[in-house]
Amino acid sequence: MIQKIKNKVLTFVNDPKFKEILFGSFYTTIAKIVAMLLGIITSIIGARYYGPEMVGFSMIISSILGIGAILSTFGLSTAMLQLVPDSIVKSNNNDAGWAVYKKVLYLMLSISFLTSVIYYFSANLIANTVFHKPELAFFLALSAFVLVFRAVYDLNSAKIRLLGEMKVYAFFQLLPKITSLLLLLLLTSLFYNPYNLIYIVFSAPVLMTIASSWYLLRYKQKNHLNQYIQKASLPKNKTILSVAFPMLISTGMFLVIAQTDIIMLGMYRSTKEVGVYSIVLALLLLITFVISSIEMIAGPKFAKLFSEKKMDELEYVAKKSAKLSFFISLPLILILMLLGKWVLSIYGEAFTGGYLPLLILLAGQIVSAMVGPAGYMLDMTGYQKQFRNIVLLAGGVNIVMNYILIPYYGIEGAALASLISVIIWKMGTAFYIKKIFGFHILYIPFLTHKRN
């Protein structure tokens, strides 16, 4: 029995068609786990030295900056993952990837500049009318100057992924947390100021953009990538935006699905319940990190295989990715199911009331793990509009169910609303893949993918 399991593991690990995704996922998963731990340390130091008011103040700024970053990137980073492999195949020249990157960069700079202008001139309106906190106005205006850096860093990260430099990509996913922690230690010990947490929120993206741009420039110089690329082989701006816009909508709806329950809990229930639910969501981060790590690596592979019309290999990699997602996530899910109440008690006895919502949300994580990178597969194979529609439906259902359930059932209602929306989102995506490609990506142990 042990030898049989060992042989299956070795076969899985040494699979030449899947090795890139397996080990790429390993690097990015480790980086995200370390980043999460560093984030916990940073938040503890921030809370102890600056107090809950300044932590909350910085989180508001960070959230607003995050929304601006989504608008500034406009889905272009994800779109580039699809467009670059297609351009390389059409031109039969790897340098086409750099030409597409340059073209997308110019588009992104234009959009992020426009977003920054809007942010700057609406700072007072948002601070006074939306948040009723006039002291936010200055920092909201200041955030306008950081949006461009956030957008460029996101694009640079996507380009590093396309280069296949997964160790470097994993490092750049980790670097923001390292930078934030080092800045916090430095500013707190040498230049203490009540607003240091906010300055760190602004400083980290600038430093990350400089570092990632320097790496890409050195990579290009080292590999002498300066060949002429015919414009006919490159996507037009209209094509780039048509691919990017549905991805912008999808990303925006991800934000809705992630934040609606917290916002509506704050509207209808006590802040204590919001706090308990926030900790429950934090416990799920490790599982979502694992699944997203596989998605990040599988995405470019899907685009490449689809462009090369290798449909059998595309099916093979998609199913393997779902299987990997399930088996890596399952131990973490089981641990939280069995020990979740004890883990919550570490934060305080008041948080053990989040155990039932945790179990409900873990059911959603099981569904996500079974489907794997299904959404990325649609995004990377030209069906981003259909994926957008599925996410829009799930996001709409999430808002309606939160509105119905939270006033009566509190955090359990929020968790149930999230579970329903996740099932619609994930299963809808899986069934659409079956409709388009003719195979099931959904992995159910002992029932599916037996031939693999």
Q: Give pLDDT tens digits for 409-438.
A: 988 998 999 899 889 888 888 888 888 777
Q: Are residues 228 and 262 in the same domain?
A: no
Residues 70, 251 contacting (CB under 8 angstroms):
yes
Q: Both tokens of residue 6? A: 């060992």
Contact 96, 84 (CB under 8 A): yes
Task: Specify the pLDDT at position 415.
Answer: 92
Average pLDDT over residues 271-286: 72
The pair of structure tokens assigned to 374 is: 């299904």
Average pLDDT over residues 339-356: 78
The yes-or-no verdict on residue 149 having pLDDT over 50 is yes
Residue 255, pLDDT above cutoff 60: yes
Contact yes or no for 149/205 (Cβ under 8 A): yes
- End-of-domain residue from the set 208, 235, 262: 235
Most confident of the ranges 42-46, 53-57, 284-288, 390-394: 390-394
**pLDDT above 50 for 364:** yes
Number of Cβ within 10 Å of residue 418's Cβ equals 25
Residues 255 and 147 placed together within one structural domain of the fold? no
Of the residues 235, 267, 285, the one at which a domain ends: 235
| Span 164-168, average pLDDT | 71
Please give the share of the chain, as a percent, with pLDDT higher than 70: 74
Q: Model pTM?
A: 0.63
* pLDDT confidence of residue 281: 78
Distance set, CA 43 to CA 268, 350, 383 (Å): 27, 20, 39
Residue 259's closest CA among 418, 437, 128?
418
* Token output for 336: 């939280």
Which range, 102-106, 398-402, 431-435, is most confident? 398-402
Whether residue 310 sits in one domain with residue 202:
no
Residue 7 lies in a domain: no
CA distance linking residue 16 with residue 25, whole number of Å: 15
Establish if 343 belongs to a structural domain. yes
Is residue 303 in some structural domain? Answer: yes
Q: Which of 182, 178, 169 lies closest to 212, judged by CA?
A: 169
Are 176 and 284 within one domain? no
Highest mean pLDDT among 17-31, 334-348, 415-429: 415-429
Q: What 3-state DSSP class applies to 227?
A: coil
- Alpha-helix runs per DSSP H in 191-284: 196-222, 237-268, 271-283
Segment 59-70 shows an average pLDDT of 75
| 179 or 24, higher pLDDT | 179
Same domain, yes or no: 228 and 356: no
**Contact in structure between 68 and 142 (CB atoms under 8 Å):** no
Can you tell me the distance from the alpha carbon of 391 to that of 341, in angstroms, rounded to the nearest whole number? 32
User: Is 33 part of any domain?
Assistant: yes
Last residue of a domain, one of 178, 205, 235: 235
The residue that leads in pLDDT, 193 or 345, is 193
Task: Kindly state whether residues 221 and 291 are assigned to the same domain.
Answer: no
Pair 172, 256 in one domain: no
Instruction: Verify that 258 and 231 share a domain, yes or no.
Output: no
Domain co-membership, 174 together with 319: no
Residue 223, in any domain of the structure: yes
Whether residue 309 lies inside any domain: the answer is yes
Kindly report the number of other CB atoms within 10 A of residue 223's CB atom.
Answer: 12
283 domain-assigned: yes
447 located within any domain: yes
Both 346 and 378 in a single domain? yes
Lowest mean pLDDT among 26-40, 108-122, 130-144: 26-40
Tell me what pLDDT residue 348 has.
Answer: 64
Whole-number pLDDT of residue 451? 46
Mean pLDDT across 171-180: 81
pLDDT of residue 318: 76
Q: Torsion over CA of 364, 368, 374 and 380, rounded to 10 degrees? A: 100
Q: Which residue matches tokens 């970053």? A: 69
Print the domain residue range for 193. Answer: 19-235
| Structure tokens belonging to residue 315 | 């099916």
Residues 151 and 279 in one domain: no
| CA-wise closest residue to 287 among 335, 321, 357, 320 | 335
Please report the pLDDT score of residue 18 as a whole number. Answer: 47
Work out how many domains the chain is built from and give that number: 2
CB 350, CB 213: distance < 8 Å: no
Tell me: do 267 and 225 sit in the same domain. no
